[in-house]
Amino acid sequence: MMDYSDTYLLALKVAAAGAIIVGGVGGFLTEVGPWYRSLRNPWWKPPDWAFGPIWTVILALATIAAAIAWEAAPDDAARQWILISFIANAVLNIGWNLFFFKLRRPDWALVEVVFLWLSILAMILVVLPFSTQAALYIAPYLVWVFIAALLNRQVVLLNQPFGRSDQQNG
């Protein structure tokens, strides 16, 4: 049996709670009603059912990465940077769902996803000096958001303009 430190286990619990909040709020904001179903999508868009499992794996890996990095950080200043980077990412992650689904503005979400991607890169760069393993656990998130950004771009190109009142009723 693995012996984990109390610091690691506490960090894992806090990170898991954060991931559950991010996933829960993101899920709450995700409306896949008539408006969403009316969007034209590229042929390569993954099926809707795949997004839940993909996000579950990504958030689980990010949770583990946060705990590993927290445990490996040499001091409180390093832990503060880890916390800031993960919180900023959580806000941007939720923000994308708000823009795309709740406000029905994939065009705004396309701008926001650049900042989301950069926040993931920042997470990797913040944890990398303390743990290569933690940085590698975050890497799939970076790849997935790159794919999501390409998908978001295609949705904008295939469906623009957005923000007209007739689109809000869908």
What's the confidence (pLDDT) of residue 4?
A: 80
Domains and CATH numbers, the chain: 6-168 (1.20.1260.100)
- Residue 128: pLDDT over 60: yes
What's the confidence (pLDDT) of residue 96?
A: 98
pTM given for the model: 0.91
What's the confidence (pLDDT) of residue 105?
A: 97
SS (H, E, C) the chain: CCCCCHHHHHHHHHHHHHHHHHHHHHHHHCCCCHHHHHCCCCCCCCCHHHHHHHHHHHHHHHHHHHHHHHHHCCCHHHHHHHHHHHHHHHHHHHHHHHHHHHCCCHHHHHHHHHHHHHHHHHHHHHHCCCCHHHHHHHHHHHHHHHHHHHHHHHHHHHHCCCCCHHHHCC
Q: What is the mean pLDDT of residues 70-89?
A: 96
Q: What proportion of the chain, given as a percentage, has pLDDT over 70?
A: 95
Sorting pLDDT into bands at 50, 70 and 90, what band is 163?
confident
